A and B are shown apart, each in its own frame.
Chain A
Amino acid sequence: GGDKKEKDKEQNTKVEVTQWRLAETWPTNFPIFGDAAKQMAQNVKEMSNGRLVITIDSKNKHKAALGILDFVKAGQYQMGHSASYYWKGKDINTLFFTTMPLGMITAEQYAWYYYGGGQELAAKVYDKHGVMSFPGGNTGNQMGGWFKKEINSVDDLKGLKMRIPGFAGDVLAKLGAKPTNIPAGELYTALERNTIDALEWVGPSLDLRMGFHKIAPYYYTGWHEPATELQFMVNKKAFEKLPADLQAILKIAIKEAAFQVTAQSYHESAVNWETMKTEFPNIQVKSFPESVMTELKKANSELLAELEAKGGLTAEIIQSQREYMKKARTWTEISDKAYLNNL
């Protein structure tokens, strides 16, 4: 499907209105994540004075949460809002543009993306699919998940049935856990009834409404998704057909919406954590003990080394991230970390 262009008859001027459609991974009115596309579409409409109008189709409409890349690639939708690591099964190089276990935090990752070569690498990865990828808002550090039992040693992870998808699941599996797939609608029941022993979702911003705190008392701090970046996608051909000013407007609208969602996520997390803490004082915040963290780090680097051995673009991205993180982390240590420690 191409763009639908129609004359704006009401104003009787010769302004050409471009109609675009965006498909998002999230269900209708999904909090925070769902606001990203809404904000972007509104930005575009206002800045372009109505010349570019983007309508949003949620998962309820297109029914394919994980079909967004295909849709944008094929041009059925000109845009998408999702997360890059969902395409890992199709193209392993997309894995690195969301967040990596034990990787960079939000500020570091944005710095890498805009000034450390991340943007260029993303372009290289997505060019092949005829798609342009942009940051789509950051959830910040995600919590490590809800556990029914305490984790005191690596042995407690052995055989642990946990809902944890993707690369982080691979890391945990290396330590003997059993990652398990459960549909989102059945998660609460599955945890309540010991079908699974633990699960990770997002963080206070989205966990509170799921109610996990009522059935799993241990809320572990994060390690597996330190800076989850959502993603805007644009079909390249459709983008190139836009006049230069609309192209610039779209890019800025995307960037502003991403920034908005990043701030909103932090805010919602703070507010919801406050609620959780006061209304459910039984929630126990825990961190994995050092012995577990050491093993997680080891497993993580081994798995990354396996990927790096593939060479090519994959190795290039891994090396770029590793080197940039080293540089940025030194600064984080003596700035934010030192500041927080000193308080």
Chain B
Amino acid sequence: MKTTLRFLNKIIDFSGYICIAALLLMILNVFIDVFVRYAVFGLLQHFHWVTAIDWYNEHLSWLGGIGMQELEWHFFSLMFLMGLGYTLRENGHVRVDVLYDNFSRRKQAWINITGGLIFALPFCALIVYYGSSFFYESFTSMENKGDPGSLPRLWPVKLIIPVAFSFLVLSIITVILSEIMVLKEGEPDDCEKEKTKSNIEGDAA
């Protein structure tokens, strides 16, 4: 079971890296769009430099165009949806902790196992199921947004839904397994305590 857990944790770590990359790409993407719109286009328009605008539209219209504006929320979606599972493993989702904090570690483990099985898993499984047909519909109809300069296809962003919720399912299973370990082996090891503490300091809300 320990090797399974280690393997699952590696996968969740990987999804965390995807989130980080998506966040940084999103920031860069929005920044470029803003820069192009205000700095480049604002100036060209202000000075009525029509030839330059024509040249731009001819060769670089994708830069700062609607396609890139769409890409912004593609990265955004990738970041927060993939982050759902990662955050769960990192114990970053808010709880009503009035009582929880005072429970014994064993009781907490039971809560996390029960909640995972009754609430989290069925919900996520259903989202994976319906999200897949949502994606498939878009894939088969070769859908795009249909605005001037739109990205050619919309299915990649819709695919994020079933994929991200599959990762969340993995994360829920990881948490359940490690809570079962807690029940079997008593108190968690020091490394896990460390993790909970760093969360308190790290998470701002």
Q: Is the CB of A176 within 8 A of B57?
A: yes
Stretch with Cβ within 8 A of A (4 or more), from B85-93, B101-109, B141-149, B175-183: B141-149
Interface segment, one of B47-55, B114-122, B188-196: B47-55
Contact for A170 among B41, B70, B143, B148, CB less than 8 A = B148
In the assembled complex, which residues on chain B have CB atoms less than 8 Å from the CB atom of A179?
66, 147-149
Which among A85-93, A253-261, A283-291, A319-327 touches the partner chain? A85-93
Q: Which of A89, A159, A180 gathers most chain B CB within 10 Å?
A: A159
B45 A181 Cβ-Cβ under 8 A: no
Q: Which residues of A contact B70 (CB under 8 A)?
A: 181
Q: Say how far A101's CB is from chain B's closest CB, in angstroms.
A: 12
Cα–Cα distance between A160 and B148 once the two chains are bound (Å)? 14
Measured CB to CB, the closest approach of chain B to A339, in angstroms, equals: 37
Q: Contact between B48 and A178 (Cβ–Cβ < 8 Å)?
A: no
Compute how far the CA of A166 lies from the CA of B146 in the bound complex, rounded to whole angstroms: 6
Smallest beta-carbon distance A43→chain B, Å: 32
Task: Report whether A158 and B143 are in contact in the complex, using a CB–CB cutoff of 8 Å.
Answer: no
Measured between alpha carbons, how far is A158 from B154 in the docked complex, in Å?
28
Is A70's beta carbon under 8 Å from chain B?
yes
B144 touches A158 (CB 8 A): no
Least distance between B200 CB and chain A CB atoms (Å)? 35
A155 within 8 A of B: yes
**Contact at A176–B141, with CB atoms within 8 Å?**
no
CB of A173 closer than 8 Å to a CB of B = yes
Tell yes or no: B126 within 8 A of A by CB.
Answer: no
| Shortest distance from the beta carbon of A291 to any chain B beta carbon, whole Å | 14
Interface residues of B in 93-141 (CB under 8 A from A): 137-138, 141
Q: Chain B residue with minimal CB distance to A176?
A: B57
> Are B53 and A158 touching (Cβ within 8 A)?
yes
Complex Cα gap A158–B51 (Å) = 10
Chain B, 50-74, contact with A by CB distance < 8 Å: what is the 0/1 string? Answer: 1001100100010001100110000
- State in angstroms the CA–CA spacing of A176 and B51 once bound together: 11
Give which listed residue, A91, A166, A169, contacts B141 with CB less than 8 A: A91
Q: Kindly identify, within residues 120 to 164 of chain A, every residue whose CB is under 8 Å from any CB belonging to chain B.
A: 155, 158-161
B18 to chain A, nearest CB (A): 25
Number of interface residues of B (CB under 8 A): 26
Interface range, A side: 20 to 34
Check if A181 sits within 8 Å of B69, measured CB to CB. yes
The reply to whether A155 and B147 contact each other, CB–CB distance below 8 Å, is no
Q: Is A116 an interface residue (CB 8 A)?
A: no
Instruction: List residues of chain B with CB within 8 A of the CB of A172.
Output: 148
Is B150 interfacial (CB 8 A cutoff)?
yes
- How far does the alpha carbon of A172 sit from the alpha carbon of B143 in the complex, in Å? 22
- Complex: A180 Cα to B44 Cα, angstroms: 17
Contacts of B144 in A (CB 8 A): 89
Pick from B70, B144, B148 the residue with the most CB of A within 10 Å.
Answer: B148
Is the CB–CB distance between B147 and A166 below 8 Å? yes
Q: How far is the CB of B149 from chain A (nearest CB, A)?
A: 7
Asked if B6 CB lies within 8 Å of chain A CBs, one says no
Q: Is A50 an interface residue when CB atoms closer than 8 A count as contact?
A: no
**CB closest chain-B residue, reference A164:** B148
How far is B130's CA from A70's CA once the two chains are assembled, in angstroms? 13
The answer to whether A159 touches B44 (Cβ under 8 A) is yes
- Asked whether B148 lies within 8 Å of A169 as measured between CB atoms, the reply is yes
Q: Which of A70, A158, A161 contacts B50 (CB 8 A)?
A: A158
Contact A89 to B143, CB < 8 A, known contacts A155-B48, A159-B45, A176-B53? yes
Question: Are the C-beta atoms of A181 and B37 separated by less than 8 Å?
Answer: no
Instruction: Assess whether B65 is in contact with A178, with CB atoms less than 8 Å apart.
Output: yes
Chain A residue at minimal CB-CB distance from B133 = A74
Residues of B within 8 Å of A88, CB to CB, are: 146
- Which chain A residue has the least Cβ–Cβ distance from B41? A159
Are B66 and A180 closer than 8 Å at their CB atoms?
yes
Which of chain B's residues has its CB closest to A155's CB?
A: B50
Q: CA separation between A12 and B63, bound complex, in Å?
A: 68
Distance in angstroms between the alpha carbons of A147 and B143 in the assembled complex? 32
Q: Compute how far the CA of A180 lies from the CA of B69 in the bound complex, rounded to whole angstroms.
A: 9
Which residues of the other chain, A, contact B143 by a CB distance below 8 angstroms? Answer: 89-90
Cβ–Cβ contact B45 & A89, under 8 A: no
Kindly identify which residue among A70, A91, A173 contacts B148, using a CB–CB cutoff of 8 Å.
Answer: A173
B69, chain A: closest CB distance, angstroms: 6
Q: Considering the chains assembled together, what is the distance between the CA atoms of A88 and B147 in angstroms?
A: 9
Say which residue of B41, B146, B150, B154 sits within 8 Å of A161 (CB atoms): B41
Residue of B nearest to A179 (CB): B148
CB contacts (< 8 Å) of B138 on chain A: these are 90
- A-B contacts, 21 of them at CB < 8 A, read A70-B137, A88-B146, A89-B143, A89-B150, A89-B154, A155-B48, A158-B45, A158-B50, A159-B53, A166-B146, A169-B148, A170-B148, A173-B57, A176-B53, A176-B54, A176-B57, A178-B37, A179-B66, A179-B147, A179-B149, A181-B69
The chain A residues found within 8 Å of chain B, CB to CB, are 70, 88-91, 155, 158-161, 165-166, 169-170, 172-173, 176, 178-181
8 additional contacts (CB under 8 A) given A89-B154, A173-B61, A179-B149: A70-B137, A89-B146, A155-B48, A159-B41, A160-B45, A170-B148, A173-B57, A176-B53
